[in-house]
């Protein structure tokens, strides 16, 4: 290679599509220009990565950053700061804000708010409601939009699309992969009285396995009918997995680090309402089934479902307490700890946290370490051992369900399009995030 790299990542163990091994990575114009062996003299800036692993930048395809409307819990700046401190280079943000992101104006507002304030790259979902079905096909074509998200059962916020004819109409209204929160609203309403006051252990009984299974069965049937691709977010039950395995041609699925790590009833006994989320953390047999699905290749992505609520809110008496827990900052170290414990391979980690989201959402230029791709890297020290602590959490909520847990494997640098944003746990550059480019909606080039 002749010429000068703006950045050279030297001597790291790189996780590339052709294997895991030592390589230097040269960056020009924010993109990967060369992978091989290069003299540091060729570069304006050298990142010494000896002893470190270089992964493709982690894409968290499910976060709730609460802006506009609930900035006391999180905003686009604080949420993206938590992301990069945790090794995440790209986030897809959810539409259940206030007002919800269900119009062109609301999406434009989010993009305007994000500009110059977000530290990682970002995409926003458009929310589906019975009233905006006619607009969904247009909203999903806006550059930077990750696609449509529908809440088939109600959770945090007002978004809901539960009537069968509306779900089918929304599925027929567009072409891109549609993401769904899959819980059956009718069954949730029927069973609400099972949520016992003051007892969050009843959360997975109220929102039971059948609530999730029924909804997933229905949405798969409707998606098949409509000829539409769907992405089932945070799958939590053993019972949904065979249904999803039967629908591989059009359905993809996500699970979360918390569903792979925590289990009922222990998590509710230890954490109370801090373990409350939708769909719920369930007993260990589901966690083991999710692990099998991860390692057999059924699970496409792991997203954090970062859903911060303040301590004051979480300490309300169950079921008046809101559902959701933060996770964007802990996703990488929790999963690396599973890698170190041999529950997950490094290749699978890279696929689930980067290539998977790029593949299923058709992200342009991200998701792998390969020439021409964005120079997004999550650089980690696989041997670093530290305790996760609430005081490390950058989210405005200031807590994590993993407080006190020792994990081995920590991010030491977050690089977004060639720019080092986090180094050794500190934010070293800021506000450089840009909208994600999707193959299906590429904006016209100005060049």
User: Would you tell me which residues interact with ligand DOR (CB under 6 A)?
Assistant: 64, 96, 155-156, 181, 277-278, 307, 323-324
11 or 324: whose CB is closer to ligand DOR?
324
Query: Whole-number minimum distance, CB 192 to ligand DOR, in Å?
Result: 16
* Three-state DSSP string of the chain: CCCCECEEEEEEEEEECCEEEEEEEEEECCEEEEEECCCHHHECCEEECCCCEEEECEEEEEECCCCCCCCCCCCHHHHHHHHHHCCEEEEEECCCCCCCCCCHHHHHHHHHHHCCCCCCEEEEEEECCCCCHHHHHHHCCCCCEEEEEEECCCCCCCCCCCCHHHHHHHHHCCCCCEEEECCCHHHHHHHHHHCCCCCHHHHHHHCCHHHHHHHHHHHHHHHHHHCCCEEECCCCCCCHHHHHHCCCCCEEEEECHHHHHCCECHHHHHHHHHHCCCCCCCEHHHHHHHHHHHHHCCCCEECCCECCCCHHHHCCCCCCCCCCECCCCCHHHHHHHHHHCCCCCHHHHHHHHHHHHHHHHCECCCCCCCCCCECCEEEEEEEEEEECCHHHCCCCCCCCCCCCCEEEEEEEEEEECCEEEEECCEECCCCCCCECCEHHHCCCCCC
Query: Whole-number minimum distance, CB 307 to ligand DOR, in Å?
Result: 4
What is d(CA 108, CA 114) in angstroms, rounded to the nearest whole number? 10
What is d(CA 288, CA 284) in angstroms, rounded to the nearest whole number? 6
5 or 268: whose CB is closer to ligand DOR?
268
281 or 415: whose CB is closer to ligand DOR?
281
273 or 407: whose CB is closer to ligand DOR?
273
Catalytic site includes residue 121: no
106 or 307: whose CB is closer to ligand DOR?
307
Q: Which of 300, 305, 337, 374 is catalytic?
A: 305
155 or 333: whose CB is closer to ligand DOR?
155
64 or 368: whose CB is closer to ligand DOR?
64
Query: What is the number of the residue whose Cβ is closest to ligand DOR?
Result: 324
Burial of 200 from C-beta contacts in 10 A (0-12 / 13-18 / 19+): buried
Query: Whole-number minimum distance, CB 357 to ligand DOR, in Å?
Result: 18
Cα separations (Å) of 88 from 74, 84, 236, 371, 422?
Answer: 17, 5, 23, 21, 10
Nearest to 61 by CA among 184, 201, 233: 233
Query: Whole-number minimum distance, CB 277 to ligand DOR, in Å?
Result: 3
Nearest to 371 by CA among 110, 118, 48, 35: 35
94 or 379: whose CB is closer to ligand DOR?
94
Query: Whole-number minimum distance, CB 323 to ligand DOR, in Å?
Result: 4
Which residues participate in catalysis according to the annotation?
A: 305
């Amino acid at each position: 290679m002749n010429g000068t790299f703006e950045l050279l990542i030297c001597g790291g163990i790189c996780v590339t599509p052709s294997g895991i091994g030592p390589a230097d990575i040269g960056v020009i114009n924010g993109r990967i220009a060369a992978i091989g062996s290069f003299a540091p003299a060729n570069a304006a800036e050298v990142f010494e990565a000896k002893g470190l692993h270089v992964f493709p930048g982690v894409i968290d395809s499910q976060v709730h950053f609460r802006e506009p409307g609930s900035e006391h819990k999180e905003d686009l700046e604080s949420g993206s700061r938590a992301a990069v401190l945790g090794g995440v280079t790209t986030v897809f943000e959810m539409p259940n804000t206030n007002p919800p992101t269900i119009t062109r104006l609301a999406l434009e507002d989010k993009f305007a708010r994000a500009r110059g304030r977000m530290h990682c790259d970002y995409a926003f979902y458009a929310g589906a409601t019975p009233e905006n079905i006619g607009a969904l096909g247009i909203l999903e074509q806006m550059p930077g939009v990750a696609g449509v998200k529908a809440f088939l059962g109600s959770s945090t916020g007002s978004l809901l699309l539960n009537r069968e004819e509306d779900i089918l109409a929304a599925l027929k209204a567009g072409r891109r992969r549609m993401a769904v929160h899959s819980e059956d609203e009718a069954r949730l309403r029927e069973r609400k009285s099972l949520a016992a006051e003051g007892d969050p252990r009843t959360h997975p009984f109220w929102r039971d396995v059948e609530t999730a299974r029924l909804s997933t069965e229905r949405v798969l049937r409707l998606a098949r009918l409509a000829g539409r691709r769907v992405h089932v977010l945070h799958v939590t039950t053993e019972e949904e997995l065979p249904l999803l395995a039967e629908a591989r041609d059009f359905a993809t699925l996500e699970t979360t680090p918390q569903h792979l790590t925590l289990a009922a009833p222990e998590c509710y006994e230890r954490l109370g309402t801090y373990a409350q989320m939708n769909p719920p953390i369930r007993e260990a047999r589901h966690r083991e089934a999710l692990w099998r699905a991860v390692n057999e290749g059924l699970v496409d992505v792991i997203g954090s479902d970062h859903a911060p609520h303040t301590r004051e809110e979480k300490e309300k008496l169950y079921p008046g307490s809101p559902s959701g827990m933060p996770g964007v900052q802990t996703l990488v170290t929790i999963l690396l700890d599973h890698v170190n414990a041999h529950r997950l391979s490094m290749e699978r980690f890279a696929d689930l946290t980067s290539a998977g989201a790029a593949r299923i959402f058709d992200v342009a230029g991200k998701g792998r370490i390969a020439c021409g791709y964005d120079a997004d890297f999550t650089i980690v020290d696989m041997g670093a051992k530290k305790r996760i602590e609430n005081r490390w959490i950058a989210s405005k909520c200031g807590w994590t369900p993993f407080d006190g847990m020792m994990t081995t494997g920590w991010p030491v640098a977050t690089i977004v399009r060639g720019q080092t944003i986090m180094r050794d746990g500190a934010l070293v550059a800021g506000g450089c995030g840009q909208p994600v480019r999707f193959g299906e909606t590429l904006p016209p080039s100005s060049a």
